[in-house]
Amino acid sequence: SNEAIVFRTNGAVVTPSLAEVETNRVQVEKDKGGISVSPVVFRDVISIGGCVEVKVTVRNNGKLARSLVDVKLLRANRHNEFQIRLDQALPTALPPGASASVALVCAPVHAGMVLNTLSLSFGTFSIGRFLEARCGDAELLDDLKPSSRYRKK
């Protein structure tokens, strides 16, 4: 894919390719600067036309105050499968020990996997979460799963 993702740090713009972001997944998702971000897991298959909300908790475990300055989805979101809902306007101040929450809503319009990347920017660094949701008819997907291990003959 030739999609690009843009990160802004200290005024400089870094534009890694989507492949580089996938390769550097661990670094993208790593908690930084005393900030921890809860994992994002859409556990069940989401039916077409359905809607599932997952809360993401952002906590300042450090000794310095931080500000959450931007929250966005990095990939094209053509059908608005993922939506971000914020309880507070940005920027959000996070003094030591404070938490904030971000709601992620997945509302698929087609069967299959829905993918995106959530970016939480704190000015000098950002923390990402890769979003993956299985969408479609849960019973049909259960019927299509393998009944035994594959053995090459």
| 3-state secondary structure (DSSP) of residue 142 | helix
64-67, Cβ contacts within 8 angstroms, sequence gap of 24 or more: 64/33, 64/34, 64/96, 65/93, 65/94, 65/95, 65/96, 66/33, 66/34, 66/35, 66/93, 66/94, 66/122, 67/91, 67/92, 67/93, 67/94, 67/122, 67/123
Q: What is the pLDDT of residue 102?
A: 95
Q: What is the dihedral of CA 6, 80, 141, 56, to 10 degrees?
A: 60
Q: What is the pLDDT of residue 58?
A: 96
Say which residue the tokens 């829905």 belong to.
114
**55 pLDDT exceeds 50?**
yes
- CA–CA separation, 57 and 91 (whole Å): 16
Q: What is the pLDDT of residue 80?
A: 81
* Pairing relationship of beta strands 70-73 and 52-60 according to DSSP bridges: unpaired
pLDDT in tens, 97-106: 999 999 999 9
Give this prediction's pTM.
Answer: 0.74
Q: What is the pLDDT of residue 6?
A: 52
